[in-house]
Amino acid sequence: MNNKPYKRVLLKLSGEALMGSDNFGINRTTLSYITTEIVKVFNLGIEIAIVIGGGNIFRGVAPGAQGMDRATADYMGMMATIMNALALQDALKCIGINARVQSALNIDQVVEPYIRPKALRYLEEGKIVIFAAGTGNPFFTTDTAAALRGAEMGVEIVLKATKVDGIYNSDPKKDPLAVLYSSISFDEVMLRRIEVMDATAFALCRDQKLPIKVFSIYKTDAFRRVVNGENEGTLVHI
């Protein structure tokens, strides 16, 4: 396991991470907490790219999406990620952090389009880059977008922020004897069909030799410990 601080990372945040205790939408207290955790890492001089999901907003209209064409529903979900990205950008701006949102869908009046060289330049300039709208294609999750953008940005690791503190051998909510893995291989994760990320994302990271760390974003200082190479969460590796 890496025991030195990473220099460039990609943080994968689910939309649900912004909900807090609410049923859907953005909980301002939770958003403030998450930005505080991000700033702790940013202040270490680490370059941060972020991919964010949209399940918290799309969940609010989920009953209306039942029976909808899958591609149409996926495009609606992509637009939800743009709303989350703008909210996160604004929250970071309020505490003096310069962040840029790039979208895989073109909405020029609201956000700039995804342009790889520009995103790389933003990172090198010390700006946080938030990638919205997934890959821009239906049928691909924001987990896959995180793997793709991570590879394109040349990050050292993809950090999957969840509500649990890593990958267990069974559901820790149901099994009090569940054991937390400190590390596990891509092949074993895919063989066991562990669903912390989708199979396409795992396969892409495996092929690019891009490790994944799964940890709890709700655990104070966990993000900072992860990027410092400390023993936190579960490392998925070749």
Residue ranges of the annotated binding site are: 12-15, 54-55, 59, 74, 135-142, 162, 168, 171
Q: Of 97, 65, 49, 57, which Cα lies nearest the Cα of 81?
A: 57
Name the binding residues for UMP.
54, 74, 135-142
Supply the DSSP string of 16-74, one letter for each residue: GGGTTTSSSS--HHHHHHHHHHHHHHHTTT-EEEEEE--HHHHGGGHHHHTT--HHHHH
Name the binding residues for ATP.
12-15, 55, 59, 162, 168, 171
